[in-house]
Amino acid sequence: MLALVNKQHFVQCGTDTITQNDIDQGIVNIVVGFAPLKPAEFVIIKFQQRAQARLT
């Protein structure tokens, strides 16, 4: 699990954001939060990357 946290930002990627079903489907979920003005006010952005199906 990757979790970087400080008073201005954080990044989460791991078992807390990705389920076994996501892994089976080739999905990675990443959560990023940052405080643009004050540490008490966070903007949270969630990213999802899906593995591309292989063409045969």
- Mean pLDDT over 22-29 rounds to 91
Question: Residue 46: which of 32, 35, 36, 34 has the closest Cα?
Answer: 32
- Mean pLDDT over 21-35 rounds to 90
Whole-angstrom distance, CA of residue 13 vs CA of residue 30:
5
pLDDT over 70 for what percent of the chain?
A: 75
Residue 38 per-residue DSSP state: -
Q: Does residue 29 contact residue 48 with C-beta atoms inside 8 Å?
A: yes
Of the pLDDT bands very low, low, confident and very high (cuts 50, 70, 90), residue 35 is: confident
pTM of the model: 0.68
Q: Which helix (H) or strand (E) holds 5?
A: strand 2-5
- Mean pLDDT over 13-32 rounds to 91
pLDDT at residue 31 in the model = 93
- Mean pLDDT over 7-15 rounds to 85
Phi and psi angles of residue 21, each rounded to the nearest 5 degrees, phi first: -60, -40
